[in-house]
């Protein structure tokens, strides 16, 4: 019940989801009075909605370690505790990313064989969408972590997007074998040896082309790529706005073109891709954009429900175990 919009966003989004999908049950964690007030009359979905009290809130700019140590009754912590206790199958938060990562790791623990969680997001492409990880959970990722990301991303795309043997690309500068950093080159060999449907290097201008189903990147360049995209979109929209509002004629044309622009905008709407998965944990945690509105937060809840339903965490665990066994076999 956090994020920039707070419960004013998350509570209406929760109600909308409950009314659209009869299979979903929600446990709202936060200030009971505030939640009840925002819920209004919810008798139609009352059988699938529960409220769990939490007295604290992790601030958006709070240092993660401090939040973890001091705020044991924050809505974030209580929600993740619910997942640990098996009372919830997934946690969704629009709050402080660092605190969500730290708390999730501390409470749920990592899947054995995995070093660190990765943030996996969904991005639009001309033909559908692509999953990309890591989008910034880690600043320095070694070759073996990139291999782990590839396995996690592959499982997610296979289960949630129902893709048989998802194709995987490794983000690099230049598609030729000679290019790229040492880390990326070593990671490429490791991923090639996993038996996944690995397509080799992918350059950043191919992210939105739909050439692969999953893109693996270190958290630094993944985040740079994601934020660059946001910046380019803002820039293009800014230029278009200026040009279309230049004079009376251009404003008139803008009115006529509006429905088409809206249709185009809908296909690129980041709200429809809201909800990034924290992969690698023993449990499902989905991070919503802090600035999410009601519609965007609904997508994050739905993403979490899908991941829980398809047992993504358990399947990642099984895939990692299988990889470790095959490495063991190869080395004997």
Residue numbers at the binding site for a copy of itself (CB under 8 A): 61, 63, 124-126, 136, 139-140, 171, 173-174, 176, 178-182, 203-209, 217, 219-221, 223-236, 238-240, 242-244, 246, 250, 253-254, 256-257, 260-261, 263-264, 267-268
Residue 29, judged by CB atoms within 10 A of its CB (0-12, 13-18, 19+), counts as buried
Specify the residue, 84 or 185, whose C-beta has the smaller distance to a copy of itself: 185
**Cβ 236 to a copy of itself, closest distance in Å?**
6
Q: How many CB atoms lie within 10 A of CB 125?
A: 15
SS3 215: strand
Specify the residue, 228 or 322, whose C-beta has the smaller distance to a copy of itself: 228
**Cβ 9 to a copy of itself, closest distance in Å?**
21
**Cβ 36 to a copy of itself, closest distance in Å?**
35
Structure tokens at 66: 């401090």
Specify the residue, 151 or 202, whose C-beta has the smaller distance to a copy of itself: 202
User: What's phi and psi for 240, nearest 5 deg?
Assistant: -60, -45
Q: How many Å apart are CA 80 and CA 282, to the nearest integer?
A: 11
Contact by Cβ (8 Å): 298, 9: no
Residue 204, judged by CB atoms within 10 A of its CB (0-12, 13-18, 19+), counts as middle
Specify the residue, 162 or 182, whose C-beta has the smaller distance to a copy of itself: 182
Specify the residue, 105 or 282, whose C-beta has the smaller distance to a copy of itself: 105
**Cβ 76 to a copy of itself, closest distance in Å?**
19
**Cβ 5 to a copy of itself, closest distance in Å?**
19
């Amino acid at each position: 019940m956090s994020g920039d919009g707070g419960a004013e966003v998350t509570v209406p989004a929760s109600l909308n989801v409950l009314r659209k999908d009869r299979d979903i049950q929600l446990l709202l964690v936060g200030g009971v009075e505030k939640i009840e007030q925002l819920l209004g009359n919810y008798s139609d979905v009352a059988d699938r909605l529960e409220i769990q009290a939490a007295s604290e809130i992790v601030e958006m700019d709070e240092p993660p370690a401090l939040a973890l140590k001091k705020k044991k009754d924050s809505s974030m912590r209580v929600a993740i505790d619910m997942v640990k206790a098996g009372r919830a199958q997934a946690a969704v938060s629009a709050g402080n990313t660092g605190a969500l990562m730290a708390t999730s790791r501390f409470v749920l623990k990592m899947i054995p064989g995995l070093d660190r969680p990765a943030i996996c997001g969904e991005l639009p492409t001309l033909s559908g969408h692509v999953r990309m990880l890591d989008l910034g959970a880690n600043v320095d990722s070694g070759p073996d972590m990139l291999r782990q990301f590839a396995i996690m991303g592959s499982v997610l795309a296979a289960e949630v997007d129902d893709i048989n043997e998802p194709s995987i690309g490794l983000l690099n500068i230049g598609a030729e074998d000679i290019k790229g950093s040492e880390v990326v080159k070593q990671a490429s060999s490791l991923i090639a040896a996993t038996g996944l449907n690995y397509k080799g290097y992918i350059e950043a201008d191919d992210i939105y082309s739909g050439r692969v189903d999953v893109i693996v990147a270190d958290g630094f360049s993944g985040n740079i790529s994601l934020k660059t995209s946001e910046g380019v979109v803002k820039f293009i929209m800014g230029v278009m706005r200026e040009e279309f509002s230049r004079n009376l004629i251009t404003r008139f044309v803008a009115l006529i073109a509006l429905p088409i622009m809206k249709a185009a905008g809908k296909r690129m709407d980041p709200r429809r891709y809201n909800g990034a998965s924290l992969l690698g944990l023993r449990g499902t945690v989905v991070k919503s954009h802090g600035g999410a509105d009601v519609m965007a937060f609904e997508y994050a809840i739905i993403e979490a429900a899908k991941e829980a339903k398809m047992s993504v965490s358990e399947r990642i665990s099984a895939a990692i175990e299988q990889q470790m066994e095959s490495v063991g076999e190869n080395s004997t």
